[in-house]
Each structure stands twice: as C-alpha cells, then as structure tokens.
Amino acid sequence: MIGQLMNLKATELCLGLPGGAEANENLAKSAVGNKRGFSETVDFMVNLQSNKEGAVDLYKVVSASKEKALLKNPAKAQVVGWPPVRNYRKNIITQQKTSGKEEASSEKAENSGGGASGAALVKVSMDGAPYLRKVDLKMYKSYQDLSDALAKMFSSFTMGNYGAQGMIDFMNESKLIDLLNSSEYVPSYEDKDGDWMLVGDVPWEMFVESCKRLRMMKGSEAIGLAPRAMEKYCKNRS
C-alpha cells in the first residue's frame, strides 16, 4: 500500500491532493467539521483520470491514506451518524457495558450521570409544576446555556440574573441576598454527597460532574441553602 502511494505520488500531476502531508491536513479538517472536504477531494481525483480502473486504484490510495489518518487520529475520524445505529440502541448497549462493572441496580443505572453513556441526564423539578423534565447537562457549555434552556422549559418563571459569566456572584453578598429574597425561581442542585446547593457555586465542568438532580425553588426558600453553599464554596476554593 505504502509502496503504491509513493509511486503514484511520483507520477501524479501536482494539484495538492491526497498523497502527502496536505492530505492529512485536508482529511483532519474534513473529519471534524466540513464533511464535504473528503468528497470534494474525491471529485477532483475522478476528473483527473479517464481510465476507470485507474480511478479505482486511486480510490484505494485515497482510502488508504484516509485510513492512515484514521490510525493517526482515531478520535477525530469518527463521522457523525456512522455506522447508522440509532441512539436508542447505542445507549442500551453502552448501559450494559458500564453496568457490567457495577451492581445491576436500577436506580444507579438510572442516575449514572456522565461516564460511558456520554450523557449527563438529570431530572429537573420545579416547585409547583405538575411534572418533571430531564436535561442532558453535557449539551450545554455554560451556566448561561443551561439557564436559557431551563427558562424555555419552564417558561412561566423568570430566572435570577446570573451576571456576566453565568455564575452567581458569591462575592457580592448584597446581590445574592436580593436574589434570595425575591419571588423569582432559583436553581438548586443535589450534588454527589447528597447536599442541596445553589447552582453556580462551582466552575461549570465541576458542576456537570457532581450534579445529580436539579430543583427550581423560589428564591425565598433557597435562603437556607446559601450559608451551606458559601461554606462549600470556600472549601472548594482553598
């Protein structure tokens, strides 16, 4: 294969197509976002060759070099939606792969947030709403994203102002007190230790890892959380 590559490269009219470093660059780019990159490349290749058999050989070269790229960057080369297996089925198999290691307890399997399944599903309840929702925390990149999504979901309430970075400004005590005194809803979450905390006290990634469940409570009710939240916050910082 590699021998073939070298030969073809020597005889090839140079249009900067697969067969070298540029190929890997092209392919790497195509694998991540621009799926078209590869097929455009293929188009060019075919137009070069009028001999059909030649085209097939070039295909092998192209796929060989692509496979080399795959071996180099296995993570990048996974294409969206291929092989065509539905998420439903994929999730079930993944669940089994992980639950083989732990006890097959239904509750645990239910709440196994991140990890192998790739989704961090947590239940979101809101005081006064008739039923729950579920969100996948991994779908959001920041507190602001999550805040927007929750606002849409429970559109009858208003979220407290999160400030520029989407995190509750713990340093600004008066702002915090205002929020907690209002009748607006404030999101709280149950962390890995089973404690209920105010959302926004830790960096986003840490939050995704430790959040087991979300609850939208009225600001006035959440006052009780604040001191404990402050305590944990200080502990996490030091």
Partner 1 sequence: MSEDDEDQSPPSDLRSQPPPCSPNKSRNCISSSSSSQTFPDHVLENVLENVLQFLDSRCDRNAASLVCKLWWKVEALTRSEVFIGNCYALSPARLTQRFKRVRSLLLKGKPRFADFNLMPPDWGANFAPWVSTMAKAYPWLEKVDLKRMFVTDDDLALLAESFPGFKELVLVCCEGFGTSGIAVVANKCRKLKVLDLIESEVTDDEVDWISCFPEDVTSLESLAFDCVEAPINFKALEGLVARSPLLRKLRLNRFVSLEEVHRLLLGAPQLTSLGTGSFSQTHQSEQEPDYAAAFRACKSVVCLSGFRELMPEYLPAILPVCANLTSLNFSYANISPDMFKPIIHNCHKLQVFWALDSICDEGLQAVAATCKELRELRIFPFDPREDSEGPVSELGLQAISEGCRKLESVLYFCQRMTNAALVAISQNCPELTVFRLCIMGRHRPDHVTGKAMDEGFGAIVKNCKKLTRLAVSGLLTDQAFRYMGEYGKLIRTLSVAFAGDSDMALRHVLEGCPKLQKLEIRDSPFGDVALRSGMHRYYNMRFVWMSACSLSMGCCKDVARAMPNLVVEVIGSDDDDENREYVETLYMYRSLDGPRKDAPQFVTIL
In the complex, which residues of this chain contact partner 1 (CB under 8 A)?
33-36, 38-40, 42-43, 46, 52, 55-56, 59-60, 62-63, 66, 70, 74, 77-90, 92-93, 95-96, 99, 103-107, 109-110, 123, 125, 130-134
Q: What is the DSSP letter of 11?
A: H
If the CB atoms of residues 53 and 238 are measured against partner 1, the closer one turns out to be: 53
In contact, 189 and 212? CB cutoff 8 Å: yes
3-class secondary-structure state, position 47: helix
Q: How far is the CB of 127 from partner 1 (least distance, A)?
A: 14
If the CB atoms of residues 117 and 188 are measured against partner 1, the closer one turns out to be: 117
Q: How far is the CB of 201 from partner 1 (least distance, A)?
A: 26
Burial of 131 (0-12, 13-18, 19+ CB in 10 A): exposed
Q: How far is the CB of 145 from partner 1 (least distance, A)?
A: 14
If the CB atoms of residues 69 and 229 are measured against partner 1, the closer one turns out to be: 69
Q: How far is the CB of 56 from partner 1 (least distance, A)?
A: 6
- Helices marked H in the chain: 2-11, 21-32, 36-48, 52-72, 87-99, 106-111, 143-153, 173-181, 204-210, 225-237
